[in-house]
Amino acid sequence: MSILKVARLGHPVLRQVTETVTSQKLQSQSVQQFIDDMIATMKEYDGVGLAADQVHESMQIAVLEVASNPRYPNKPDVPLTVLVNPKVTPLTEEMEEDWEGCLSVPDLRGRVPRYKSIRVEAWDRSGKSIDFVANDFHARVIQHEFDHLNGKVYLDRMRDLSTLTFLTEYVRYWMR
Active site residues: 145
Residue 21 vs 149, nearer CB to Zn ion: 149
Binding segment for Zn ion (CB under 5 A), chosen from 14-22, 28-36, 97-105, 122-130, is: 97-105
50 sits near Zn ion (criterion: CB under 5 A): no
DSSP secondary structure string, 107-121? EEEEEEEEESEEEEE
Using the minimum distance from each CB to Zn ion, give the nearer residue, 21 or 51: 51
Q: 31 or 102: whose CB is closer to Zn ion?
A: 102
Q: Choose which of 26, 39, 61, 102 interacts with Zn ion (CB under 5 A).
A: 102
Closest approach of Zn ion to the CB of residue 47, in Å: 8
Q: How far is the CB of 28 from Zn ion (least distance, A)?
A: 26
| Contact in structure between 153 and 144 (CB atoms under 8 Å) | no
- According to DSSP, the residues that pair with 118 across neighbouring strands are 90, 134
Considering only the stretches 30-38, 57-65, 79-87, 101-109, report the one whose residues sit in contact with Zn ion under the rule CB under 5 A. Answer: 101-109
Contact between residue 153 and residue 106 where contact means Cβ atoms under 8 Å apart = no
Q: How many CB atoms lie within 10 A of CB 32?
A: 13
Angstrom distance (rounded) from CA 55 to CA 39:
11
Q: CA gyration radius for the chain?
A: 15
Chain residues that interact with Zn ion, rule: CB under 5 A: 102
